[in-house]
Amino acid sequence: MDILYLLIPIALVLAGVAIAAFFWSVNSGQFDDLESPAHRILYDDDEDLIPEDARPDSTPTHKAGNASEDRRNDD
């Protein structure tokens, strides 16, 4: 029975620390946007793998064609 005099205050202190940590994380914005990190990984570092004519935010810098067309245009 004497151990309860020790365990109950320890449990109350730990519960208070957990509640304070939860409110700190909510107030600091840790739970503001839960969706973006999951979607961000899908668009990570693959810009150079996308062909230039398929990129939605850029215009192609050169005309895609075969080598024989390029030779005819040089003359």
What's the whole-model pTM score? 0.47
Q: How confident is the model at residue 37 (pLDDT cuts 50, 70, 90)?
A: confident
Tens digits of residue pLDDT in 41-65: 776 666 677 777 777 765 555 555 5
Q: Phi and psi for 42 in degrees, rounded to 5?
A: -75, -25
Q: How would you classify residue 56: left for phi > 0, otherwise alpha for psi between -120 and 50, otherwise beta?
A: alpha
Model confidence at 11: pLDDT above 90: yes
